[in-house]
Amino acid sequence: MKLFVQIPCLNEENTLASVIDSIPKQIDGIDEIEILVINDGSTDRTVEVAKEHGVRHFVHHTTNMGLARSFRDGVDYALLHGADIVVNTDGDNQYPQAHIAELVQPILRKEAEIVIGD
């Protein structure tokens, strides 16, 4: 199983490192965890920070397209690159990435096709 964690970003250079560093590196039942940054027209060092923290997957919008478009473009990219599961988080660190392992469990157990955290 391949998991993509997608992070839409608009000028998130100050918080992005914390987000990336808090994404689990291993999850039982997941063979690969990839991080995808959707650069939604950032004018700061968002992309550089992502690269400094090992991110290899990017979608770039030259101008701000909004969150819905970023999520859609990220899902398209992830599926094209072999994702079995896609998790959405945010570049401003408002969601606890430590719960990603728990969030995907119903999918891994084949009890759900979609899980939404609250």
Q: Which domain holds residue 6?
A: 2-108
Check which CATH number belongs to the domain holding 49 and give it.
Answer: 3.90.550.10
Alpha-carbon dihedral angle through residues 94, 45, 6, 59, given to the nearest 10 degrees: 150
Number of domains making up the chain? 1
Tell me the pLDDT tens digit for each residue of 96-105: 999 999 999 9
Residue-level pLDDT at 17: 97
Place of tokens 């995808």: 36
Residue-level pLDDT at 117: 84
Tokens for 23, please give them. Answer: 């994404």
Domain-embedded: residue 113 = no
Task: Give the whole-angstrom CA distance, residue 3 versus residue 30.
Answer: 7
Whole-structure pTM value: 0.95
R_g (Cα) of the chain, nearest Å:
13
Tell me the pLDDT tens digit for each residue of 45-77: 999 999 999 999 999 999 999 999 999 999 999
Domain-embedded: residue 118 = no
Residue-level pLDDT at 27: 97
